[in-house]
Every structure is written in structure tokens, then in C-alpha cells.
Amino acid sequence: MRPLVGNLRLWQNFRRYIFQGFPHWVCFGFGMTYSQVNRDEREGLQSMDKVRFGNTDLDVSVIVLGTWVTGGWAWGGTDEKEARAAVLKALELGVNFIDTAPVYGFGKSERIVGEALKEWGNKDQVVIATKCGLEWDDRQNIRRNSSPQRILEEIDQSLKRLGVERIDLYQIHWPDDSVLLEKSMETLLKLQDNGKIRYVGLSNFNREQVEVCLTVGPVHSLQPPYNLFEREAEKELLPFCAEKGIATLTYGGLCRGLLTGKFSGKEEFPRGDLRRADPKYKPDRFIQYVKAVEEFRKIAASYGKSPAQFALRWALQQPGVTTVIAGARTPRQVEDNCGVSGWKISAEDLDRVEEILAKRIKTPVGPEFMAPRSQR
Ligand SMILES: NC(=O)c1ccc[n+]([C@@H]2O[C@H](COP(=O)([O-])OP(=O)(O)OC[C@H]3O[C@@H](n4cnc5c(N)ncnc54)[C@H](OP(=O)(O)O)[C@@H]3O)[C@@H](O)[C@H]2O)c1
């Protein structure tokens, strides 16, 4: 008699063979997962570069799928079906690293990621990073809260929404001045001990704050803002992380869409879209940034690449950058953002980038406006 697991595999292979070419909904009806249905397609497309994530045992794609927009909040809403399809497209293209947070859509982003993971089937192949330390009220006023009590509440909610038993990377979203950093760190270490999380990450922390956390235990990653137009992290944080062996997943790699080259500088953003308040998107500055992107577009074209691919590739080539998060609303955006493997920007073109920035951006501004206003 064959062992049960052998029979199962036989049945799975049989189903895959029989249903080849059938529409997805037929296959799903017979209990197959997205990854089983699309296995051949996926294997053909998996060309995304992978990297060892600092001192962890994780091998992750250099592009991380950012899912703030998936939750809709601060991005003028979301189309859930499209958002799920975007997550599945990323997985299909070899992205195995997803960044989310409870606050993104107040649970919605984590829930949609969880649904997509379920549909995908092979949850173990995907590295999930989420966050803790922000809370909100009924009117969606957000405040920082990294107290042990809040973290212990949040972890269970995140596990449930994501439909996983363990979070691969658990990050404190923003430093909370009202709680001793040591206390928050101790709580994360407890979660690690009891198997609810694998690795500890910090987001939006400065060097001194990371150093305090390091006195309590290992910090595996840092998530700072970083892109061609927002370079603060390269002064101190990225070299510091490189020195300490802390992996980075830098955020805002496309500067909230600006670096994709889709804007003319005249756009007005609807209520509920954070770009409406973003000082980079205010009339005088907006056009400076757009003109710079037009010049990047020409360099990108010489590699046969889009402005988005050029911007993400640029970030990946900077010292101290391990992985780059790119947010995407649609499968099409995901496809564009995944074109970073198998090519490099030359040293001469990296120099040209600096010249363009110096020539075009006369009144630069950082990413500070994104910090939640309310501090306890
Ligand atoms: N730790 C933190 O505090 C923090 C803060 C910010 C972000 N993050 C993380 O980093 C991720 C990425 O940052 P981000 O979402 O702020 O911004 P981003 O990656 O710089 O830009 C993402 C946005 O640009 C547009 N876009 C993306 N790819 C495109 C393409 N190929 N063509 C045209 N438009 C495209 C989409 O918005 P539209 O379609 O609306 O234009 C998308 O939502 C977030 O999702 C989140 O996971 C973390």
C-alpha cells in the first residue's frame, strides 16, 4: 500500500495534468490553488534576483511588494479584486517578499494579502513582513503605541488577517517616545521566543534609536524611506546598517509614483490621496521633479527600461540597500516594477543622475510629511 502522502502527490499531479488549459475558475472549483494552476507559467517567469536578507536565513527577492495602496487608505481607495490580482502577479513574477501593516486600510491590506496567499497556496514560499505600534480610533485618527500590551494585541490580529501561523519579519512601524524602546524590543523578543515571529525589524527609526534596541537584542532589519529624490538615509543610516549587518528594505522607491514618469506636473490629486498634501507635488516643485524624471527616462531608454525600472535599479545599486519596496495598485504596475533583474546602471550613468538632480531640483524636500501627526 502506498503511503498517504504519495497518493496525495499523485492526485495533485493528476489534477494539474487534467486541468491544464482550463480556465482558472474551473480549476479552483476542484480545490486547486493559484500556484498549482499556474505552476508552469510561474516557473517560466521566475527571473527576479534573490538576496540573503542580512543575518537571517531568508533568501528574498530584491523587490519587495509594498501593500499600503492595497489597503486604499491615504491612496484614494482600492479596488480589492485588482489589489489581490496585483499580489498574485508579484508572486508569479518571483517576488517572494511582501510588506504590509495593520494600519494600511485599517486591516484591509493584511486581509487582502492573506486572501491572495491563500489563493496562491504555497504560503511557506512567501516572506511576510508586517508591522506593529500604531493604533487608530473610529475616526481613523492614528497614534503611535508600541506598548507591550498593544503589540501583544496586534500580533494576534495580524496573524489572523494574514492567515499564517508566524510572521517572518515583525517591524515596529514608528518609534513611540512614550514607551521605553527597550520594553517594545523585549516584547518582540518574547514573540520570537514563543514562535509568533521569526525576525525583528524597525521602521523609521534613527541611528540612536536602533542602537538602543541593539542593547536588548538583535535587530534584523531597518525600513527607512529612500529613493532618487529622498536621499537622507544614505548619510548615516544605510552605512550604519551595512556596518552592523542589518538588512534594509527601503520604502517609497518610486517616490509615490513620481519616478514612474506618468505625471506631467499638472495633476491634482483627489481628497483622500496623500499626494494632495505632499510638498513634492505642489506646483513649483512638482515640475522640477517631473523634468528630472524626463531626463532619467532618456537614460532608462538606453537600457530598454522604463523610468520605474530605472529608479528601482538605481536604489538597488546603492550601498547599504538590501531590498527595495515598490508599492503597486495593479498587476500592470507590478510587471513594470519587476524589471530590475539582469542589468545594471553604469558608473557613468550614475554620475549623470547626480548631475541631473543638481541641475533640476532647486528646492528639494524630504519625506517627513508622511509621519503620522499625532504623537502621544
Ligand atoms: N514604514 C513606513 O512608514 C512606510 C511608509 C511608506 C511606505 N511604506 C512601504 O513601502 C511601500 C512603497 O512605498 P509607497 O507605497 O509609499 O510608494 P512607492 O512605492 O514609491 O509608489 C507606489 C505607488 O506608485 C504608483 N505606481 C507604482 N508602480 C507604478 C508603475 N509601474 N507605473 C505607474 N504607477 C505606479 C501606485 O500608485 P497610483 O496608482 O495611485 O499612482 C503605487 O501605489 C508601501 O506600500 C509600504 O509597504 C512604508
Residue 268 C-beta-side C-alpha neighbours within 13 Å: 2
CA distances for 357 relative to 279, 319, 320, 346, angstroms: 17, 19, 21, 17
- Which grid cell is 347? 558608473
Torsion of CA 317, 323, 325, 326, to 10 degrees: 50
pLDDT at 263: 97
How many Cβ atoms from other residues are within 10 Å of residue 352's Cβ? 16
DSSP β-bridge partners for residue 323: 249
pTM for this predicted structure: 0.91
User: What is the Å distance from ligand 1's center to 202 Cα?
Assistant: 19
Segment (H or E) for 243: helix 237-244
DSSP per residue, 99-126 = E--TTTTTTHHHHHHHHHHHHH--GGGS
pLDDT number for residue 370: 74
C-alpha torsion sign, points 296, 301, 307, 313: negative
- Angle at which helices 181-193 and 207-214 pack, to 10 degrees? 50
| Three cell numbers, residue 133 | 505600534
Q: Please state, as a whole number, how many other Cβ atoms lie within 10 Å of the Cβ of residue 52.
A: 12
* Residue bearing the CA closest to ligand 1, atom 15: 327
pLDDT of residue 283: 86
β partners of residue 144: 134
Classify 251 as helix, strand or coil.
Answer: strand
Residue type, 203: S
Domain range list for the chain? 50-370
Taking residues 252-274, what's their average pLDDT?
A: 96
Ligand 1 pocket, Cβ-based, cut-off 6 angstroms: 66-69, 75, 99, 173, 203-204, 223, 251-257, 260, 262, 308, 325-329, 333, 336-337, 370
Picking from 254, 252, 283, 253, the residue whose alpha carbon sits closest to that of residue 268 is 283
Give me the phi and psi of 131, to 5 degrees please: -140, 170
Q: Is the pLDDT of residue 15 over 90?
A: no
For 50-370, CATH gives 3.20.20.100
Q: Which of 64, 67, 68, 172 is the best mutation target for the ligand 1 pocket, counting ligand atoms within 8 Å of the beta carbon and taking the most?
A: 68
pLDDT given for residue 18 in this prediction: 45
Question: What is the reported pLDDT for 17?
Answer: 42
Per-residue pLDDT at 176: 96
* Pocket perturbation via mutation, ligand 1, pick of 127, 229, 325 by most ligand atoms within 8 A of CB: 325
**What's the pLDDT tens digit per position in 153-198?**
999 999 999 999 999 999 999 999 999 999 999 999 999 999 999 9
Residue to mutate, 202, 237, 251, ligand 1, most ligand atoms under 8 Å from C-beta: 251
Output helix, strand, coil percentages for the chain, rounded to the nearest 5.
45, 15, 40
Q: How far is the CA of 175 from the centre of ligand 1 (A)?
A: 21
Residue 70, pLDDT above cutoff 70 = yes
CA atoms within 13 A on the CB side of 140: 9
Q: How high is the pLDDT of residue 259?
A: 98
